[in-house]
């Protein structure tokens, strides 16, 4: 089932009744309702939004990723359930005890597919993909030669020109990329918890201050989907310098775009569950191969 993404940007009071999310405004007598079981992501972007704890409990039980935005209207924090899988402790233990060779093999698969997908997006945009295609075929275990970083420099230069720099505070389309990557990160974290995994314990990312290292690992092959939306937005709004509602609306469509996994097309949020479930199987020894997306 495709879950809905709700973006709330007004001073709504959010409550729960009969397992329905109730949205009400003081200045508006009209009440809006949404079944909680239909929601996958709830993005809250207004300083005067209020909510009941009963609603928070229901959202958690339905594995809804609740994302809070800061004063700059950028996603800044997220609420995810602590208990979301029937054998969660067993999966946590397998994840913690994962061997270094296994983690290096998993990271190799991730980097290969990320670079391959970047090459496919370059080709789709009419750019040369030759260098990246060659790079994707020569990734060593654990990407010991950091081909991922080398590929990124080639990719962004080919896509947006030699003067473009991928930077959090850089010029457009960085603002679209930042917002899209944060949304993707929340989607991956939700899928990981749904598969009984701990988003904090990464395969490659190991920053002690990062609570979502594994989400940052798994999102890598999915980044080109954000890149395509962001570049299309940049082409559509070449003079924009800040994120507007219409930009966010298009980026929020990320969760439902078609993604090819295992020779089938599925919405991105469903594809992520296949990826995270395959990762859980790798940790428990029931598999060695990740189910990763192929960009089209």
186 contacts: CB under 8 Å, gap ≥ 6: 41, 65, 67, 75, 78
Which residues lie across from 34 on neighbouring strands? 21
Domain ranges of the chain: 4-79, 88-284
Q: What average pLDDT score do residues 196-223 get?
A: 89
pLDDT of residue 85: 56
| pLDDT-derived band at 22, boundaries 50, 70, 90 | very high
Lowest mean pLDDT among 13-22, 24-33, 131-140: 24-33
Q: What count of other Cβ atoms lies within 10 Å of the Cβ of residue 105?
A: 18
Q: What count of other Cβ atoms lies within 10 Å of the Cβ of residue 13?
A: 15
pLDDT of residue 26: 75
As given in the structure block, the two tokens for residue 2 are 């495709």
Lowest mean pLDDT among 12-26, 142-156, 195-209, 268-282: 195-209
Q: Is 80 helix (H, G, I), strand (E, B) or coil?
A: coil
Lowest mean pLDDT among 82-91, 145-154, 172-181, 255-264: 82-91
Is the confidence at residue 208, as pLDDT, over 80? no
pLDDT of residue 83: 66
What percent of the chain stands above pLDDT 90?
73
Q: Measure the N-to-C terminal CA separation of the chain; round to a whole number of Å.
A: 22
41 contacts: CB under 8 Å, gap ≥ 6: 3, 4, 5, 6, 64, 65, 67, 183, 186, 187, 190, 255
pLDDT of residue 209: 65
pLDDT of residue 54: 96
Q: How far is CA 1 from the centre of its chain?
A: 18
pLDDT of residue 63: 86
Q: What count of other Cβ atoms lies within 10 Å of the Cβ of residue 162?
A: 9
| pLDDT-derived band at 232, boundaries 50, 70, 90 | very high
pLDDT of residue 79: 83
pLDDT in tens, 126-167: 999 999 999 999 899 999 999 999 999 999 999 999 999 998
Q: Do domains 4-79 and 88-284 have the same CATH topology?
A: no
Is the confidence at residue 183, as pLDDT, over 60? yes
Q: Is 79 helix (H, G, I), strand (E, B) or coil?
A: strand
pLDDT of residue 84: 58
Do residues 196 and 88 make contact, with C-beta atoms less than 8 angstroms apart? yes
Do residues 74 and 185 make contact, with C-beta atoms less than 8 angstroms apart? no
Q: What average pLDDT score do residues 85-108 get?
A: 87
Which residues lie across from 17 on neighbouring strands? 20
Burial of 14 (0-12, 13-18, 19+ CB in 10 A): buried
Do residues 33 and 20 make contact, with C-beta atoms less than 8 angstroms apart? yes
Nearest to 233 by CA among 185, 168, 157, 175: 175
As given in the structure block, the two tokens for residue 168 are 């959090």
- For the chain, the average pLDDT equals 91
236 contacts: CB under 8 Å, gap ≥ 6: none
Cα distance between residue 81 and residue 166, in whole Å: 32
Q: Is 11 helix (H, G, I), strand (E, B) or coil?
A: coil
> Which CATH code fits 4-79?
3.100.10.20
88-284 folds as 1.20.120
For residue 173, say if its preceding peptide bond is cis, omega within 30 degrees of 0.
yes
Nearest to 104 by CA among 286, 292, 282, 294: 282
């Amino acid at each position: 089932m495709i879950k809905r993404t709700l973006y709330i940007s007004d001073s709504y009071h959010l409550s729960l009744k009969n397992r329905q999310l109730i949205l009400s405004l003081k200045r508006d007598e009209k009440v809006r309702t949404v079944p909680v079981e239909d929601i996958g992501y709830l993005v809250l972007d207004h300083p005067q939004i209020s909510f009941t704890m009963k609603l928070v409990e229901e959202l958690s039980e339905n594995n809804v990723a609740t994302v809070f935005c800061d004063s700059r209207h950028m996603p800044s924090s997220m609420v995810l359930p602590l208990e979301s899988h029937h054998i969660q402790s067993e999966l946590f233990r397998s994840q913690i005890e994962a061997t270094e060779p296994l983690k290096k093999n998993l990271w190799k698969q991730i980097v290969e597919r990320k670079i391959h997908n970047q090459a496919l997006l370059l080709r789709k945009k009419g750019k040369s993909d030759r260098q990246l295609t060659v790079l994707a075929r020569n990734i060593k275990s654990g990407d010991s030669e950091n081909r991922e970083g080398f590929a990124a420099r080639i990719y962004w230069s080919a896509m947006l020109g030699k003067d473009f720099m991928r930077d959090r505070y850089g010029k457009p389309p960085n603002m679209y990329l930042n917002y899209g990557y944060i949304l993707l990160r929340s989607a991956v974290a939700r899928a990981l918890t749904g598969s009984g995994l701990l988003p904090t314990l990464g395969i490659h990312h190991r920053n002690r201050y990062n609570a979502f290292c594994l989400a940052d690992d798994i999102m890598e092959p999915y980044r080109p989907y954000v890149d395509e939306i962001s570049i299309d937005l940049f082409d559509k709004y070449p003079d924009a310098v800040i994120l507007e509602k219409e930009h966010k609306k298009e980026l929020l469509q990320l969760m439902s775009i078609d993604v090819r996994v295992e020779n089938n097309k599925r919405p991105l949020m469903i594809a992520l569950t296949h990826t995270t479930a395959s990762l859980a199987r790798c940790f428990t020894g029931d598999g060695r191969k990740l189910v990763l997306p192929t960009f089209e």
